[in-house]
Amino acid sequence: MDRRHVRAKGVAEGFAVIFDLDGTLVDSAPDLHRAANALMAQIGAPAFQLAEITSFIGNGVPVLVERVMAARNITAERHTELVAEFLAIYEADSTALTRPYPGVEAALDRLARDGAALGICTNKPERPTRDILEALGLLDRFGAIVGGDSLSLRKPDPAPLLRAAEQLGAVNCVFVGDSEIDGETAARAEIPFVLFTEGYRKMPVRKIPHRATFSNFDALAEMIRQVVSRTE
């Protein structure tokens, strides 16, 4: 089966746009930074700068906490405990400082008017993902939400992205993300990838496989139309 052409009930024709969340639709680093430093305060470890925590984002909460622990020489045996503590702190108020990037809401509205089904595929756990989208007034725009704990596998494994595509059931699908992890996920799923250059990537743009790039959400809808037209 061509993974770019997944059908499901309710959608005969059209296309889907699936988004990563952190560093793509929303700038969530300040809240993750706040939670990490609250955790450090609990265990008597030094706080982090925002740039340090931003560099840890992308592979999900367990890996973020693993990187925090490595940076503070905390023994690996405490990982399960500290992941649970971090999530308790973070989920208690995951949107105090998190905001959509400029132009996100208008871009989502434009894509919906163009007939796109919209979805989320993120390594953030599903509960805080939904909490953030709801608090920012974005939740109802998405017909599929696949989080880092929705399946047994996380990005860059293609399974979560393919699950979101299946749930949306559009003929053509595009994945929009901000990182090398997202680029690898799309490549493995055989889904065209559009790269947002202003997020949390750790590699140069030229080293991330992509069909197109953008730095301003005002340009996204037309770019998606072009990418879809080339894959039909």
Catalytic residue among 20, 22, 31, 182: 20
Q: What is the 3-state secondary structure (H, E, C) of the chain?
A: CCCCCCCECCECCCEEEEECCECCCEECHHHHHHHHHHHHHHHCCCCCCHHHHHHHCCCCHHHHHHHHHHHCCCCHHHHHHHHHHHHHHHHHCCCCCCEECCCHHHHHHHHHHCCEEEEEECCCCHHHHHHHHHHCCCHHHCCEEECCCCCCCCCCCCHHHHHHHHHHCCCEEEEEECCHHHHHHHHHHCCCEEEECCCCCCCCHHHCCCCEEECCHHHHHHHHHHHHHHHC
Active-site residue flag, 182: no
Residues with catalytic annotation? 20
